[in-house]
């Protein structure tokens, strides 16, 4: 057997394999050399006819050629694939200035957040600062310290989500009054926005809703300050000409207490379904801070006095935008949310 023939086959194979430039050709070439009826097997088929001595030399040489071809093929396959990737990359230039395939809608600020921001703006404009408290609250801060002892009927007014012994989801933001007063000394002008929770659910009640608490403590604070601040607040929120009235009421943590009504924003006070023909809408609760709270936090009630108020953000927002179902705020319906 001619070893020179093998050498020329080797050269030929190298040339041929290095010219391959797609996978189809690669498969054909591999079959041509290594396939069942390919060159290498046909060379090996000659072995039986050779002498023992020839077999050894020839067999080894064919095998070396086979390995050479296999390695060359693998190398070439890699090269082809790399070239393909490069080709694709060079053809696909990305134009980042093209408009996207999908419409990206910009988000909007939730109406409740908008009204909270507006409330914060109004009060900080009057010199108030903002404080926050925990939503998971203790019975002590939510009730006890606010002069709502166990068995007090006011606990029934607020259907509470209890978490574990002594802990609950706060039913109002009033506990923040205690938390702030405990830590600091007057003068204080603070509002406390936040989430509150009650076991209640219908078109005007949601198990989670938002309140803003506010309070002022200083020397010589009287009911006139309370009326002035709240009237000014409501005028800024609902417009200069909104009618405002204070009605006597009861809260355990204020004495005296009042509820504040605004003239019905739907009928301007004439009487309609929304205001149940009274011409007025209740919007917040307030009063002079009960001396009991001062004793709890260690303030001298002979020196200091204060007022407090609490308002429901959902209710104020519903009145501001004539929304008649509170659940709309929580359904995440974009066509509703985008209107604000």
Enumerate binding residues for ligand DAH (CB under 6 A). Answer: 172, 174, 213, 251, 254, 285-287, 308-310
76/257 with CB nearer ligand DAH:
257
58/310 with CB nearer ligand DAH:
310
238/251 with CB nearer ligand DAH:
251
Sign of CA dihedral 193, 195, 196, 200: positive
- Of 43, 38, 41, give the one whose Cα is nearest residue 6: 43
Q: Is beta strand 129-130 parallel, antiparallel or unpaired with respect to 188-197?
A: parallel
111/285 with CB nearer ligand DAH:
285
197/309 with CB nearer ligand DAH:
309
Token reading at 44: 């090996």
* Helices first, then strands: H and E counts in the chain: 12, 10
66/312 with CB nearer ligand DAH:
312
* Contact present, 226 and 218 (Cβ < 8 Å): no
Residue sitting closest to ligand DAH (CB): 310
What's the closest the beta carbon of residue 255 comes to ligand DAH, in angstroms? 10
What's the closest the beta carbon of residue 166 comes to ligand DAH, in angstroms? 20
Q: For 268, how many CA atoms within 13 A lie in the half-sphere containing its CB?
A: 2
Sign of CA dihedral 143, 145, 148, 154: negative
What's the closest the beta carbon of residue 193 comes to ligand DAH, in angstroms? 13
What's the closest the beta carbon of residue 220 comes to ligand DAH, in angstroms? 19
Q: For 307, how many CA atoms within 13 A lie in the half-sphere containing its CB?
A: 18
133/285 with CB nearer ligand DAH:
285
Show the CA angle centred on residue 304, arms to residues 298 and 308, nearest 5°. Answer: 90
* Contact present, 116 and 196 (Cβ < 8 Å): no
What's the closest the beta carbon of residue 259 comes to ligand DAH, in angstroms? 8
At 246 the three-state DSSP class reads strand
What's the closest the beta carbon of residue 102 comes to ligand DAH, in angstroms? 44
Most distant CA atoms of the chain, gap in Å? 125
111/312 with CB nearer ligand DAH:
312
What's the closest the beta carbon of residue 299 comes to ligand DAH, in angstroms? 16
Alpha-carbon dihedral 174, 177, 183, 186, rounded to 10 degrees = 180
In angstroms, the first-to-last Cα distance of the chain is 92
Spatial separation of the C-alpha atoms in residues 118 and 234, rounded to whole Å: 11
Instruction: Determine which helix (DSSP H) or strand (DSSP E) holds 216, and give its type and residue range.
Output: strand 208-219
What's the closest the beta carbon of residue 155 comes to ligand DAH, in angstroms? 12
């Amino acid at each position: 057997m001619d070893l020179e023939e093998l050498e020329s086959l080797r050269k030929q194979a190298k040339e041929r394999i290095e010219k391959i430039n797609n996978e189809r050709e690669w498969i054909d070439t591999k079959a041509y050399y290594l396939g069942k009826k390919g060159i290498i097997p046909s060379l090996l088929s000659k072995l039986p006819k050779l002498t023992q001595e020839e077999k050894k030399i020839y067999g080894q040489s064919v095998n070396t050629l086979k390995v050479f071809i296999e390695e060359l093929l693998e190398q070439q396959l890699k090269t082809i694939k790399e070239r393909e990737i490069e080709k694709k990359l060079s053809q696909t230039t990305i134009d980042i200035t093209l408009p996207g395939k999908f419409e990206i809608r910009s988000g909007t600020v939730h109406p409740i957040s908008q009204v909270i921001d507006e409330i914060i703006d109004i009060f900080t404009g009057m010199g108030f600062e903002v404080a926050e408290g925990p939503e998971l609250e203790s019975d002590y801060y939510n009730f006890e310290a606010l002069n709502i002892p166990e068995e007090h009927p006011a606990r029934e007014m607020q259907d509470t989500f209890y978490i574990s012994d002594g802990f609950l989801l706060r039913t109002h933001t009033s506990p923040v009054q205690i938390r702030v007063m405990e830590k600091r000394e007057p003068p204080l002008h603070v509002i406390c926005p936040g989430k509150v929770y009650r076991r209640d659910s219908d078109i005007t009640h949601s198990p989670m809703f938002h309140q803003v608490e506010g309070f002022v403590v200083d020397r010589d604070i009287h009911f006139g300050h309370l009326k002035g601040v709240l009237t000014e607040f409501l005028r800024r929120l609902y417009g200069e000409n909104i009618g405002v009235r204070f009605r006597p009421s009861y809260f355990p943590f204020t004495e005296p207490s009042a509820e504040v009504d605004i003239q019905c924003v739907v009928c301007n006070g004439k009487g309609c379904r929304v205001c149940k023909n009274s011409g007025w809408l209740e919007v917040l609760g307030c009063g002079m801070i009960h001396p009991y709270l001062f004793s709890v936090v260690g303030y001298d009630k002979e020196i200091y006095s204060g007022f407090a108020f609490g308002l429901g953000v959902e209710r104020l927002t519903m009145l501001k935008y004539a929304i008649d179902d509170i659940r709309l705020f929580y359904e995440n319906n974009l066509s509703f949310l985008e209107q604000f």
